Structure 1
Amino acid sequence: MISLEEFFAAYKQELLATVILIAVLFILKLVLTKAIRKVGRMSDIVEARTLLITKYVSILLTILGFGLLTFIWNIKFKDVGIAFASVFTIIGVALFASWSILSNITAGVVLFFSFPFKIGDRVKIMDKDIEGEEPYLIEDIRAFHVSLRKDNGELLVYPNNLMMQKAVTLLYKDEVMYEEGT
């Protein structure tokens, strides 16, 4: 059995690199969270959307951290190759089967940072599958979809990826109607 002193002596560089990595990732998370919140405030974006984007960044940093830890500790992928192959196969099948969900999440992130539409705006979507020519009020923008409501109360839940793919006309913004030619 190896003693604690021997462990620290044998793995001093790996332990130091691990502590530095954790500190850098923690600082990076704080900086990115602050930047995302600032963008959210400047763009007048709902706090729930800002928290969602912050969660995505945290997950991405965690995955990056685990990947870097495997290099720091020199984990031999040959030894765990079968386990990784199995996990990646399952993940690959799951991601392929749910590509629509991932495209909606990605579109939600793009909509957050490009912020062409906000809650309270009135829009018209140029989609042949949507009946009627009436404008919709944007009630909520979620990770997967946008909730749109007609004046008659009808609710349309529209996928984020289609908001990126279809032509969307902004009719009212912050209760101010856009005039043609202005």
Structure 2
Amino acid sequence: MEFLNDYTKEVIATGILFFVVVLSRLIVSKLVRSFAKRSQTIEKRTRLVLKYIHLLMNILAVFALIIIWGVETKDIFVVFSSVATVVGVAMFAQWSILSNITSGIILFFSFPFKIGDSIYIHDKDFPIEAEIEDIGAFHVYLKTQKGEIIVYPNNLMLQIGITILKHPDEEKEFTD
């Protein structure tokens, strides 16, 4: 009982933070899913973006808990700078992975092309004409007319010029 007497404010603040995080996750999930439904984005991509957003929200909640429970600010900065240094060194070694994840999120929200689109990639060394089969967190899967599956990094999809040859909807004939 003495614990509750000594830390009443912290326990209440932790409960409120938990409630806010759960409520925020629900609201963000509904907003992203409604955006995805309006833009006709597939469920797999929607879940991937939600996973990233929820991870960010959880990290922010952990920082808020640290502040609520009164960890010294200088200690937070020491731990944060140490973790940031380790993560920075690791990410520098793996910059392409981070670049592909970021590009995957950009492709989700801006979607200049969709699954099923036939595209031409203007790469001077390896030009590709193919249909988009899937867009994942790291790669876009393309299928050529010969049936070959090409795995193309997301970051290159944003850096190289691409011509959209046809959308799947364009093949359908409209009749009255």
TM-score normalised by L of structure 2: 0.89
Question: Pick from 136, 144, 164: which aligns with 1:142?
Answer: 136
CA–CA separation in structure 1 for the residues paired with 2:45 and 2:2: 48
| Alignment correspondent of 1:46 | 42
Change (3 A) 1:7 1:49: same
- Equivalent positions of 1:152-163 (< 5 A) are 152-163=146-157
Cα distance per residue 1:87-111 (max 9 Å; x no partner): 3332121111111101110110011
Deviation at 1:126, TM superposition (A): 1.1
Q: Does 1:31 align with 2:50?
A: no
Deviation at 1:164, TM superposition (A): 0.9
How big is the alpha-carbon RMSD for the aligned residues of Structure 1 and Structure 2? 1.8
| Alignment correspondent of 2:89 | 93
| Alignment correspondent of 2:3 | 7
The one-letter code of the counterpart of 2:133 is E
CA–CA separation in structure 1 for the residues paired with 2:169 and 2:161: 21
Alignment check: 8 A CA contact 1:136 1:149 kept: yes
The one-letter code of the counterpart of 2:54 is S
CA–CA separation in structure 1 for the residues paired with 2:39 and 2:75: 49
The one-letter code of the counterpart of 1:91 is V
Structure with a larger share of its residues in helix: 2
SS across alignment from 1:135: strand
CA–CA separation in structure 2 for the residues paired with 1:48 and 1:113: 14
SS across alignment from 1:176: helix
The one-letter code of the counterpart of 2:168 is D
CA–CA separation in structure 1 for the residues paired with 2:155 and 2:109: 15
Deviation at 1:129, TM superposition (A): 2.6
Question: Pick from 14, 17, 24: which aligns with 1:18?
Answer: 14
SS across alignment from 2:44: helix
Share of identical aligned residues, percent? 47
- Equivalent positions of 1:115-134 (< 5 A) are 115-131=111-127
Tell which deviates more after alignment, 136-145 or 34-43: 34-43
CA–CA separation in structure 1 for the residues paired with 2:8 and 2:70: 14
The one-letter code of the counterpart of 2:27 is V
State how many pairs are aligned: 171
Deviation at 1:83, TM superposition (A): 5.3
Change (3 A) 1:106 1:16: same
CA–CA separation in structure 2 for the residues paired with 1:146 and 1:87: 32
- Equivalent positions of 1:42-81 (< 5 A) are 42-76=38-72, 78-79=74-75
- Equivalent positions of 1:156-171 (< 5 A) are 156-171=150-165
Deviation at 1:16, TM superposition (A): 1.1
